[in-house]
A and B are shown apart, each in its own frame.
Chain A
Amino acid sequence: MFGRLLALNWKIFVSNLNKFQLLLLIGYIMFLGIMTVNLVGTAVVVLLLDSEPWMKMQLPWLTPEIYSFLLLVFANTYWLMHFSFTNLRLLNIAENRKLLGFGFPLKKLSKYLMIIGFCHPVNIIYNFTWIVFLMIQVSNFYQVLVGIAAIVFNYVLIYSIKHRFIKIIERRFIAVVAGFLFLIFGLFQAVSLFAENSQQIFYHIIPRVDTLNNFLSWSPGGLLTQTVTEEYGWLNAAIIFGFLCLLIGLIVVDHFHKTCEGLNNPTIKKEEQQTSKLWSFLRKVMGKNAGKYYYYVMIHPYNKLQLLTLAIVPVVYVPLLLQVKYEAAQTILIPTILAGIPVALLAMGMANMYGYENRELLMHLQFPVKLEKQLKERFLGVIILPLMVFYLITIFELLVIPQIVGVFKIFVANTFFFLCFMVLFIWSSYYQYQKATYTSFSYKHPIIPQKVTFVISFAIFTMGYFIFVPIPGLEWYRITIMSVVIVVIAVYLWRHVGFLVNLFKKQILTRLWTE
């Protein structure tokens, strides 16, 4: 029965992928292979650092204390990575729970799903690396038993914490995401500071390395390392082993009950929501059609995350790049990053314009308002916000980076960038339609199809280099070509908005009816 369940879940997973995504899956499997080799390789290199006489010659500062320090830093960094990348999203609970209707016993299903969930390839790779990392350091047999028990305990604990963390994210989404982004970018800043002043920092660290080691050995990675580096005897080992097994058992039982609960109550229970102020605001500002559409875009958790990222990335990168002495960073990278912001906003609203409402659009078609008018309102509504951001960015660039180009040039370049992507998104909305649900958050169920995301990312940087890299002497030719293309696109769209209606009826309507 377990084999059949595994086969069913594999079929569910594969049937949700199109040919392009299947191709990506092959790439992902290759990536997992490379990741395994890299992780295990790094662990082995760090471990064997001091055993090579040649290394001792090359790195005279590598005293036993510094070596312990490096091992502990590695173990803790690796633990952080393990925590961050432990994957929980392998199973489709909604599909699996249908088996309950066919008489599959709840407890058995819960048990099997839990086992399949625990065996996600990424999770196995991390645990395998832990085993390699710890087992190389083993000097007694009892350390093997305790080390393995500690690895299993560590894993089930991370798994359990993350399960609860997901619920917290759902409840306090913005606070958690903002905190997470702050942490990531804070770390980024800290690393850049460290890289610039490493000698000075090491000078301060070396005298205190013992204190640091003491501290690090009690952090999660350090504790795991201690299970195989300390000598604690068979009796203590038996007690620790027994205690760890008890804890593992308790966590697994708890997780089993949680899975049962999830199978019985699949919907996410959120607090009762009253009338939304955002909806009232958008309705007033943007009208009935565009307002409703924008409301749907804005309340989707994935877009909230996008907005936060769009706000935070330039705040971190632009000041950093402004400090860099290399002029190309200012004249090419900053304009490309900044021109990418309105494009990303446009992508949020336009790359899958009908995916947010899906079948609800049929209701709009029944309204006594011409479809052309409704679509036009949406279309214009979607453009307003990115366009405002676009103008603000243009003004910012003119004020802060005067060396980049002249007023006219930057305006033409940004408009060109914006319009080209608008055409790409129109294509995507009509020919790459896909349903966006509340859970459209992951690789399997994205809001914007992966194909489009790849095209966008690739195009942003390619076009950025084509548009913003100065070409001495030929600048005016480029400006002329871009201006002509802008006029052609604008005139075409203005005169043929009606074609959106026909395209909607042809490409989207039948799919919505049969959805």
Chain B
Amino acid sequence: MSEAISIKGLIKSYDEHIVLKELDLSIPKGSIFGLIGPNGAGKSTLIGVLTGLLSFDDGYIHINEKHFIDENEAEIKRDVASVLQPPLLFEQFTSIEFVEYVCDIYEIEKQGLLEKAYSLMDFFEIKDFAKTKIHKLSSGSRKKLAFVTAVLTEPKILLLDEPFEAVDVISIDRMKTVLRRLKEKGVTMIITSHILEVVENLCDDIAILHQGGIIAYLDSVSRKNLQENSSLHEIFSEYVKVEGKDDVVDWL
């Protein structure tokens, strides 16, 4: 299987603080890739770099076999959509204006777009807010709207930074349904999340990011072997555990 995203020796720092330390990562085409890690591990920064919102200090990124440099930027971005945490939305637009605007920028066929948009909004129960200004929406509805819009732009790569945060259980199930459909269509997805059960259930390959580097890569085969004995939660705790911290709260 060829790679949708290939990262080699990626370094990213904020001032003196190095967040990503010579990161190497390959994500197969058409897979759902789970990226988990404790707070501050660098997950959102990695997503930020892949979306082109953050510059990086060193290393190489190839997306769909195209080198991620300024010359290819627009071409690469056409194939990538994302849902960030917190989601990026145009607050003064209504939900439907936002969807239309973004799809227009991505040059999505206008015919049938509104029907698709409304049906997807209906699926996520935000159709009633189609003509409501975005700044009035709840955080869950905002997340769902960002997700709907990202899907409507017909991406080849979908980057999801904590997509299930603030979303109700029913909508999480529906998101999973949509993600599985997209996978069948060949879309590659990266998902970061702290809800390990969903990641375990949904993703093909999973990597644990800790202190700016990948400390464990679990492909479908290794996961099968490991999971006979333990859950993803236990594996994660085992890798990320910091010795001696339990003593600190003894006084409780």
**B77 smallest CB distance to A (angstroms):** 4
Does A359 make an interface contact (CB < 8 A)?
Answer: yes
Check A363/B77 contact, CB under 8 A, given A292-B101, A513-B48.
no
Chain B residues contacting A275 (CB-CB under 8 Å) are 94, 96-97, 131
- Also in contact, A363 and B89, with CB within 8 A (given A288-B104, A368-B74, A368-B78): yes
* Chain A CB within 8 A of B191 CB: no
Q: Is B105 an interface residue (CB 8 A)?
A: yes
Which residues of the partner chain A approach B93 to less than 8 Å between Cβ atoms? 279
Is there an interface contact between B104 and A362, defined as CB atoms closer than 8 Å? Answer: no
Cβ distance A359 to chain B, nearest Cβ, rounded Å: 7
Residues of A286-304 at the interface with B, using a CB-CB cut-off of 8 Å, are: 288, 292, 295-296, 299
**Interface size classification for chain B:** 35 or more
Q: Which of A360, A367, A368, A369 gathers the greatest number of chain B CB atoms within 10 Å?
A: A368
Decide if B193 is an interface residue (CB 8 Å cutoff): no
- The digit string for B80-94, where 1 denotes a CB below 8 A from any CB of A, is 111010101111111
Q: How far is the CA of A275 from the CA of B130 in the complex (A)?
A: 10
A267 to B54, CA, bound (A): 32
Q: Is B237's beta carbon under 8 Å from chain A? A: no
CA distance A194 to B106 in the complex (A): 64
B176 adjacent to chain A (CB < 8 Å): no
Closest chain-A Cβ to B176's Cβ sits at a distance in Å of: 24
What interface size band does chain A fall in? Answer: 20 to 34
Say which residue of B74, B80, B101 sits within 8 Å of A369 (CB atoms): B74
Q: How many interface contacts (CB-CB < 8 Å) are there between A and B?
A: 69
Among A288, A299, A368, which residue has its beta carbon within 8 angstroms of that of B77?
A: A368
Check if B51 is an interface residue, CB within 8 A of chain A.
yes
Looking at the assembled complex, report how far the CB atom of B125 sits from the nearest CB atom of chain A, in whole angstroms.
Answer: 18
The proximity string for A residues 271-285 relative to B, scoring 1 for CB distances below 8 Å and 0 otherwise, is: 011111001000000
Q: Is the interface of A mostly helix, strand, loop or mixed?
A: helix
Q: Tell me the bound Cα distance from A272 to B52 in angstroms.
A: 35
Chain B CB within 8 A of A451 CB: no
Please, which residue of chain B has its CB at the minimum distance from the CB of A289? Answer: B105
The one of A360, A370, A510 that contacts B89, using a Cβ cutoff of 8 Å: A360
Closest residue of B by beta carbon distance from A356: B92
Q: Which residue of B lies closest to A505 (CB)?
A: B55
Interface pair B53/A299, CB less than 8 Å apart: no
Contact indicator per residue, chain A 344-377, by CB within 8 Å of chain B (1) or not (0)? 0000000000000101101101111110000000
Given contacts A275-B96, A360-B89, A360-B91, contact A365 B48 (CB under 8 A): no
State whether the Cβ of A509 lies closer than 8 Å to any Cβ in chain B. yes
Q: Which of B48, B74, B97 contacts A370 (CB 8 A)?
A: B74
Q: Is B132 an interface residue (CB 8 A)?
A: yes
The listed residue (A295, A365, A368) touching B53 by CB distance below 8 A is A365
Q: Can you identify 23 A-B contacts, CB atoms within 8 angstroms?
A: A272-B132, A273-B133, A274-B131, A288-B104, A288-B105, A292-B90, A296-B92, A360-B89, A360-B91, A362-B53, A362-B84, A363-B88, A366-B77, A366-B81, A366-B88, A367-B102, A367-B106, A368-B74, A368-B77, A368-B78, A368-B106, A509-B55, A513-B54
Known: A292-B90, A360-B88, A360-B91. 20 other contacts (CB 8 A): A274-B94, A275-B131, A276-B97, A279-B97, A288-B105, A292-B101, A296-B92, A357-B90, A362-B53, A366-B53, A366-B77, A367-B102, A367-B105, A368-B74, A368-B106, A369-B105, A370-B74, A509-B53, A510-B14, A513-B54
